């Protein structure tokens, strides 16, 4: 067979990876790449970590897999305790899974079961933002506000009520406060139109991921959404699959605004790229109601297995022991300054937004009107390919139905040093200079 049996974007032009160390990867031709997006915003500790390897091997030597209904396992208990401690508030119960999509599915199903158990089975609808990304399984896809992914499945998914979140880059309101107030009012009206009593939960990413290019909400918006959920008696679910576990400089992004959800999902960086592990955290009262009504009707074979949890535990310990949240903060500020300098040099860099080491860059044809480049220009693909030639990996997305231009994420590992941030920015500058020609 001459072509690859893998049918995802495999092509002869894709280099074969050889090995990775720290923030760098090398292909089999010896070319070096600075991993400016931590794989898929997952390898938060960089590549080739001995401590994670050792923790995994130690667990493998004991046992790799046991089923959660047959044995208590120490790594799962310890990781659950760590996660509860990291949220330091009302999220007391943990359900493990193996991916972000599974974590979102789990939260949706638990929330629905909670209302069925509470005698409110007329609640059958979720509310989520457009644009957004919540996963690829049908339930999580139904929450996703990203047209190209939704289109083939829109007739068969349980699609949520899609509302707009704040867009501080394109807002036309007089100021931020007015913008947030107007967005919240619109959301309130949309919910009222379908009936408050039909809503199970509002699902949102406190910091948008790839679909929005790290679009931020703010404190007033999150407080408004929390009030709205309380008023209509529905739950609030934060999707921190991408922005959780330290990516924004706090363990979870929502902690920067002090607004607590009823359920929280996370994955990606939890296994630091070494093993798939995700988690849903939630308030005890929800679990109690569901368990009292016959148990949670949901589960995945590999959920909470010892090897996954030992990996997650080692990743969290490394972040804590090496004070990496401080590094996320310091290197994040350095990266922000560098990206903003590039924005001044290249007028088509429309927006630079983010927190910690989660930065989004949006490219626009006209910086005043903020008009995206035509989709046929395939700018997101060109910038990624040029960056790769320059030895830099970034995480791209195409323009969004007039809601955003081509954009990409810069999300290096938490371990990145000052000089490596300089190198990242140099490679990005060379990429931009070539794109400008």
Q: How far is CA 367 from the centre of its chain?
A: 27
Cβ proximity to ligand PMP: between 129 and 310 the closer is 129
Exactly one of 44, 59, 73, 101 binds ligand PMP (CB under 6 A); that residue is: 101
Establish if 236 lies at the interface with ligand PMP (CB under 6 A). Answer: no
Rounded CA gap, 345 and 329, in Å?
25
Exactly one of 38, 44, 99, 212 binds ligand PMP (CB under 6 A); that residue is: 99
Compute the least distance from the CB of residue 304 to ligand PMP, in Å.
16
Cβ proximity to ligand PMP: between 99 and 159 the closer is 99
Interface residues for ligand PMP in 124-143 (CB under 6 A)?
133-136
Establish if 100 lies at the interface with ligand PMP (CB under 6 A). Answer: yes
Nearest partner of 80 among 273, 260, 266, 268, judged by Cα: 266
User: Do residues 359 and 353 lie in contact, with contact meaning Cβ atoms separated by under 8 Å?
Assistant: yes
**Could you give the C-alpha distances from 306 to 84, 237, 313, in angstroms and in order?**
18, 27, 10
Helix (H) or strand (E) run with residue 279 in it = strand 278-283
Cβ proximity to ligand PMP: between 20 and 100 the closer is 100
Compute the least distance from the CB of residue 268 to ligand PMP, in Å.
6
User: Do residues 55 and 313 lie in contact, with contact meaning Cβ atoms separated by under 8 Å?
Assistant: yes
Binding segment for ligand PMP (CB under 6 A), chosen from 57-65, 115-123, 168-176, 236-244, is 236-244
Cβ proximity to ligand PMP: between 37 and 349 the closer is 37
Rounded CA gap, 204 and 120, in Å?
23
Exactly one of 241, 270, 400, 423 binds ligand PMP (CB under 6 A); that residue is: 241
Q: At what angle do helices 306-321 and 50-62 cross, to 10 degrees?
A: 150
**Mask: binding to ligand PMP, 267-306, rule CB under 6 A, as x and -?**
x---------------------------------------
| Residue carrying structure tokens 């989004």 | 360
Interface residues for ligand PMP in 174-233 (CB under 6 A)?
205, 209-210
Compute the least distance from the CB of residue 131 to ligand PMP, in Å.
11
Tell me the number of residues near ligand PMP by CB under 6 A: 15
Rounded CA gap, 34 and 359, in Å?
16
Backbone angles phi, psi at 151, to 5 degrees: -45, -50
Compute the least distance from the CB of residue 209 to ligand PMP, in Å.
4
Compute the least distance from the CB of residue 133 to ligand PMP, in Å.
5
**Could you give the C-alpha distances from 244 to 155, 207, 257, 340, in angstroms and in order?**
32, 9, 14, 24
**Mask: binding to ligand PMP, 159-178, rule CB under 6 A, as x and -?**
--------------------
Backbone angles phi, psi at 309, to 5 degrees: -70, -35
Rounded CA gap, 245 and 268, in Å?
9
Q: Residue numbers of the site for ligand PMP (CB under 6 A)?
A: 99-101, 104, 133-136, 205, 209-210, 239, 241-242, 267
């Amino acid at each position: 067979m001459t072509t690859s049996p893998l049918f995802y974007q495999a092509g002869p032009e894709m280099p074969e990876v050889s090995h990775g160390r720290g923030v760098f990867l090398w292909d089999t031709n010896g070319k070096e790449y600075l991993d400016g997006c931590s794989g898929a915003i997952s390898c938060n500790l960089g590549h080739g970590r001995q401590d994670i390897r050792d923790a995994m091997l130690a667990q493998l030597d004991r046992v790799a897999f046991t089923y959660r209904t047959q044995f208590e396992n120490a790594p799962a208990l310890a990781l659950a305790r760590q996660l509860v401690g990291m949220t330091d508030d009302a999220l007391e119960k943990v359900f493990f899974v193996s991916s972000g999509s599974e974590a979102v599915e789990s939260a949706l199903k638990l929330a629905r079961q909670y209302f069925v158990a509470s005698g409110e089975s007329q609640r059958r609808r979720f509310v989520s933002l457009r644009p957004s990304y919540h996963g690829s399984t049908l339930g999580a896809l139904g929450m996703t506000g990203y047209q190209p992914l939704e289109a083939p499945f829109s007739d068969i998914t349980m699609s949520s009520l899609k509302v707009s979140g704040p867009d501080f880059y394109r807002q036309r309101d007089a100021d931020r406060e007015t913008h947030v107030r107007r967005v919240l009012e619109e959301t309130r009206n949309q919910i009222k139109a379908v009936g408050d009593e039909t809503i199970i939960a509002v699902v949102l990413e406190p910091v948008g991921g790839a679909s929005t290019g790290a679009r931020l909400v703010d404190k007033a918006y999150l407080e408004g959404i929390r009030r709205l959920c309380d008023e209509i008696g529905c739950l609030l679910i934060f999707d921190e699959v991408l922005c959780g576990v330290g990516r924004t400089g706090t363990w979870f992004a929502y902690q920067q605004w002090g607004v607590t959800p009823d359920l929280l999902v996370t994955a990606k960086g939890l296994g630091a790229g070494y093993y798939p592990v995700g988690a849903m955290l939630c308030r005890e009262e929800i679990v109690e109601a569901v368990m009292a009504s016959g148990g949670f009707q949901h589960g995945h074979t590999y959920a909470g297995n010892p090897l996954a949890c030992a990996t997650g535990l080692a990743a969290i310990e490394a972040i804590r022991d090496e004070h990496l949240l401080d590094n996320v903060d310091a290197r994040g500020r350095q990266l922000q300054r560098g990206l903003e300098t590039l924005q001044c040099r290249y007028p088509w860099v429309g927006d630079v937004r983010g927190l910690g080491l989660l930065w989004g860059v949006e490219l626009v044809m006209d910086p005043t009107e903020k008009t995206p480049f035509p989709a046929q220009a395939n700018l997101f693909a060109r910038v990624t390919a040029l960056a790769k030639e320059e030895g830099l990996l970034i995480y791209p997305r195409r323009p969004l139905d007039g809601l955003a231009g081509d954009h990409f994420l810069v999300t290096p590992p938490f371990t990145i040093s000052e000089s490596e941030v300089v190198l990242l920015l140099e490679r990005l500058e060379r990429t931009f200079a070539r794109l400008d020609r």
